[in-house]
């Protein structure tokens, strides 16, 4: 089992370009797995990747999502400088934009554990542990993926969205943690298709103008490495 993970920080990158790059890495792992099944005498290790990225304003709709949860038409999208894509992850609609840390682990779970439920819970745990370092109590909300604050109260709000795709135990897509995010962009959707639930950002919760995003990334990697027992390249 290859537990080495190649870390790449793509900086600010167009959503579609990043999606294409994810697909390329994803397919590369699947191709190796396919070849390994055909040639048992010459087994190749499958690589693992963890991509950090920040996207320009974009709304993405998961394969089970409802387009009615996007509250803007094409002209309004353009006026806000935003794009829209219907994509192949799970979940409904979400927003990505500046000030948000997006993480895309592209892993062969055969290298770690073959349990998608456990994988999602581990990703949530990474974020829960990360924001705990800032004094915030992140929680799960029953039946709703992601990381939430003040679950079970009228003030419940989501600080991190989660949506993944997996095929033959290879993962893509991932999580989006609001760090210094303009939450006004969430007003243009019904986030994750859940009415009446608010969203949160780390800087707002801490009452500061800006949180050090590089510091947050290092914390995320620390807890990811710990939980997945990974080695970074």
State yes or no: 92 annotated in a binding site: yes
State yes or no: 32 annotated in a binding site: no
State yes or no: 195 annotated in a binding site: no
State yes or no: 175 annotated in a binding site: yes
State yes or no: 59 annotated in a binding site: no
State yes or no: 161 annotated in a binding site: yes
Find the catalytic residue in 58, 70, 192, 199: 192
State yes or no: 89 annotated in a binding site: yes
Catalytic-residue membership of 160: no
Q: With helix as H, strand as E and coil as C, how does the chain read?
A: CCCEEEEEEEEECCHHHHHHHHHHHHHHHHHHHHHHHHCCCCCCCCCCEEEEEECCCEEEECCCCCHHHECCCHHHHHHCCCEEEECCCCCCEEEECCCEEEEEEECEHHHCCCCHHHHHHHHHHHHHHHHHCCCCCCEEECCEEEEEECCCCCCCEEEEEEEEEEECCEEEEEEEEECCCCHHHHHHECHHHCCCCEECCHHHHHCCCCCCHHHHHHHHHHHHHHHHCCEEC
Q: Which residues are annotated as a binding site?
A: 89-96, 161-163, 174-176
Active site residues: 192
Q: Which residues are annotated as a binding site for substrate?
A: 89-96, 161-163, 174-176
């Amino acid at each position: 089992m290859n537990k080495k993970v190649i870390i790449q920080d793509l900086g600010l990158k167009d959503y579609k370009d990043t999606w294409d790059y994810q697909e390329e890495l994803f397919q590369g792992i699947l191709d190796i797995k396919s070849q390994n099944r055909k040639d048992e005498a010459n087994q190749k290790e499958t690589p693992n990747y963890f991509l950090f990225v920040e996207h320009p304003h974009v709304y993405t709709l998961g394969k089970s999502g409802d387009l009615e949860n996007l509250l803007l038409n094409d002209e309004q999208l353009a006026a806000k400088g935003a794009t829209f894509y219907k994509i192949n992850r799970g979940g409904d609609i979400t927003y990505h934009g500046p000030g948000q840390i997006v993480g895309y682990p592209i892993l062969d779970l055969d290298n770690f554990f073959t349990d998608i439920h456990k994988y999602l819970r581990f990703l949530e745990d990474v974020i829960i542990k990360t924001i705990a370092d800032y004094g915030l109590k992140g929680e799960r909300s029953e039946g709703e993926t992601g990381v939430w604050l003040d679950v079970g109260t009228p003030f419940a709000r989501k600080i991190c969205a989660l949506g993944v795709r997996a095929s033959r135990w290879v993962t893509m897509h991932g999580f989006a943690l609001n760090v210094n995010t303009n939450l006004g962009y969430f007003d243009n959707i019904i986030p994750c298709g859940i009415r009446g639930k608010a969203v949160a950002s780390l800087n707002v919760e801490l009452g500061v103008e800006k949180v050090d995003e590089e510091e947050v990334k290092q914390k995320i990697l620390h807890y990811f490495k710990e939980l997945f027992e990974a080695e970074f390249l």
